[in-house]
Amino acid sequence: MAQKIPATVVTGFLGAGKTTLIRHMLQNAQGKRIALIINEFGDLGVDGDILKGCGDETCTEDDIMELSNGCICCTVADDFIPTMQALLERENKPDHIVIETSGLALPQPLIRAFNWPEISTKVTVDGVVTVVDGKAVTEGRFAHNIEAIDAQRKLDENLNHETPLSELYGDQIACADMIVINKSDLLTKDETAKIITDLKFNSREGVQVVTSTMGALPIDILLGQGVGAESDLASRHKVHHHHDHGENEEHHHDHDHDDFESFVVDCGEIKDEKAFAIKVADIIRKYDILRLKGFIAVEGKPMRMTIQAVGPRVDTYFDQPFGTSPRQTKIVVIGQTGLNQAAIISALTK
Ligand SMILES: [Zn+2]
């Protein structure tokens, strides 16, 4: 069976910075062929025009589809599904699909659409990325320009839910696999720490919260989350207060700026691969690691074990014999700048 094409859903209110984030992603696509589905109305055509002008050869105008008949969650059957089907019938299939919702859409019905028989065998939701306006949220609003969002709502004849902004915001946060706090340059360190804590508290376990000024996230942080969100919708409805709140000092580390860093840890041979995977998941939670990957030498095993983690979800499998290559355990750790490298290295090698 052919592999499913991963689809990333980008949600967040008008003005939060979704288009900037997507544009940055297209300009740094590293050869990945990305198809875009944009759900916009109100400021008709603007996002599409901005993105079509990106000039990247891996993203042509044919790769951008606009759903302008109204709210994506209210027009799933008439608009979204047929567009997806047309995209999936193409000969030249994309490597990845990115769907930008208008921000008025409820993310859950859109994710549920991926369970429709026509597309469920061909696509999977790689992850839900929710972009928030850090400044607006800190000031107790949800969006920079609430009047513009109301105007957008009035223009949409097909929108059939009167969901208040606060509820929409809660839904977008509850559905997220990654939350991007945008415009973080307008926040003080204390404000940033507080919003990160609040968002983690109000979102799913294992959600990745990152800060950004202009949506400038590396593509391998944004895409490739491998979540399969359509299979765990039940966990994306209500807000689950799950965290050992206040216990984890590491969540309050200072983000000096919005860059990302990575480093390699040499761990030597591992005695018990299952115990190691559990330990890695704990370390990822404790130190806010975004991605972790590498190869592991397990005592007494001729095969090399691959480890890949997105947030605290750790996958391991034996991929090939070491053969003549050195039996090493080398792990790459990726996170936002400010990782406590010394503590992570010590925890991994302990
Ligand atoms: Zn809707």
Residues 147-167 pLDDT 10s: 888 888 888 888 888 888 888
Q: How far is the CA of 219 from the centre of ligand 1 (A)?
A: 28
- Mean pLDDT over 10-30 rounds to 89
- Cα–Cα nearest to 101, from 77, 125, 66: 66
Higher per-residue pLDDT: 92 or 41: 92
Q: How far is the CA of 109 from the centre of ligand 1 (A)?
A: 8
pLDDT score of 55 more than 90: no
pLDDT score of 46 more than 70: no
* Segments of 205-348 assigned E as strands: 208-211, 260-266, 291-297, 303-310, 313-321, 330-336
- Cα–Cα nearest to 7, from 106, 91, 83, 105: 83
pLDDT score of 293 more than 90: yes
Token couple for 211 = 């800060």
Q: How far is the CA of 120 from the centre of ligand 1 (A)?
A: 21
Ion ligand 1 neighbours, Cβ < 5 Å: 71, 73-74, 105
Q: How far is the CA of 158 from the centre of ligand 1 (A)?
A: 8
- Cα–Cα nearest to 16, from 109, 127, 148, 128: 148
How far, in Å, CA of 220 to CA of 225, rounded?
9
Q: What is the dihedral sign for C-alpha 191, 192, 197, 202?
A: positive
Q: How far is the CA of 73 from the centre of ligand 1 (A)?
A: 4
Q: How far is the CA of 228 from the centre of ligand 1 (A)?
A: 22
- Strand 178-182 and strand 123-133: pairing? parallel
Q: How far is the CA of 76 from the centre of ligand 1 (A)?
A: 9
What 3-state DSSP class applies to 324? coil
pLDDT tens digits, 103-143: 888 899 999 999 998 899 999 999 999 999 999 999 988 88
How far, in Å, CA of 150 to CA of 153, rounded?
5
Q: How far is the CA of 220 from the centre of ligand 1 (A)?
A: 30
Q: How far is the CA of 235 from the centre of ligand 1 (A)?
A: 20
pLDDT score of 249 more than 80: no
Q: How far is the CA of 105 from the centre of ligand 1 (A)?
A: 4
Name the region of 329 (left: φ>0; alpha: ψ -120 to 50; beta: rest): beta
* Segments of the chain assigned E as strands: 5-11, 34-39, 64-67, 96-100, 123-133, 178-182, 208-211, 260-266, 291-297, 303-310, 313-321, 330-336
Domains of the chain from N-terminus onward: 5-236 (3.40.50.300), 260-349 (3.30.1220.10)
Q: How far is the CA of 39 from the centre of ligand 1 (A)?
A: 11
Q: How far is the CA of 259 from the centre of ligand 1 (A)?
A: 35
